């Protein structure tokens, strides 16, 4: 059994050792892993402007990206792999509210340059190494016809 003083020293020693390990792992992750996985060398002015447009229009109010945001609209982390660029730009530049499957997306009337910037941002996000997130869905093949 530990005395009160020994228990205090054991607690403080364990706290200091654990905190040191936490700092070492954080430093390693932030200095080596994050730049390697995000490919920050590919950040262009177009990508940065696209992120600014993303934020100024509060896209995360409906969409999820990198696991963060709302769940009303589709997850867009890997959208550039699922949809062709022309489709994404058409949605962003639409002059009328776009409503697939009953959900309505606001018509932002983005210019072609703004749409290209957002597309560049989404393409850059899609190339970030997320260690398998989001998982690819497993679809079952059926012969059912779904009416829109």
pLDDT, tens digit only, all 148 positions of the chain? 889 999 999 999 999 999 999 999 988 877 777 777 777 777 899 999 999 999 999 999 999 998 888 888 888 988 998 899 999 999 999 888 877 777 788 888 899 999 999 999 999 998 888 777 667 777 777 776 666 5
- Residues 75 and 97 grouped into a single domain: yes
- Residues 64 and 120 grouped into a single domain: yes
pTM > 0.95: no
Residue pointed to by tokens 């639409």: 94
What residues form DSSP beta bridges with 69?
Answer: 64
- Find the domain containing 74 and state its range: 43-136
Domain count, the chain: 2
- Residues 61 and 17 grouped into a single domain: no
What residues form DSSP beta bridges with 6?
Answer: none
Closest by CA position to 127, among listed 38, 53, 59: 38
- Report if residue 62 sits inside a domain: yes
Give the C-alpha distances (Å, rounded to integers) separating 24 from 12, 29, 39, 71, 84: 18, 9, 22, 35, 42
Show the tokens assigned to 12: 């403080």
Return the pLDDT at 136. Answer: 72
Residue 79, domain CATH: 1.10.760.10
- Report if residue 102 sits inside a domain: yes
- Residues 53 and 24 grouped into a single domain: no
Secondary structure in 3-state letters for 32-98: HHHHHHHCHHHCCHHHHHHHHHHHHCCHHHCCEECCEECCCCCECCCHHHHCCHHHHHHHHHCCCCE
- Residues 68 and 33 grouped into a single domain: no
In this structure, what is the dihedral angle of CA atoms 47, 28, 64, 50, given to the nearest 10 degrees? Answer: -10
């Amino acid at each position: 059994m530990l005395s009160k003083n020994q228990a205090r020293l054991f607690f403080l020693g364990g706290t200091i050792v654990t905190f040191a390990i936490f700092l070492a792992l954080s430093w390693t992750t932030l200095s080596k892993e994050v730049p390697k996985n995000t490919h920050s060398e590919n950040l262009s002015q177009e990508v940065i402007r696209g992120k600014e447009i993303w934020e100024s229009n509060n896209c995360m109010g409906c969409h999820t990206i990198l696991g963060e945001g709302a769940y009303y609209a589709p997850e867009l982390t890997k959208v550039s792999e699922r949809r062709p660029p022309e489709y994404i730009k058409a949605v962003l530049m639409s002059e009328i509210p776009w409503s697939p499957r009953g959900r309505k997306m606001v018509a932002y009337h983005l210019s072609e340059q703004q749409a290209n910037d957002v597309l560049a941002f989404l393409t850059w996000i899609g190339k970030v190494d997320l260690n398998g997130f989001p998982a690819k869905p497993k679809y079952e093949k059926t012969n059912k016809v779904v009416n829109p």
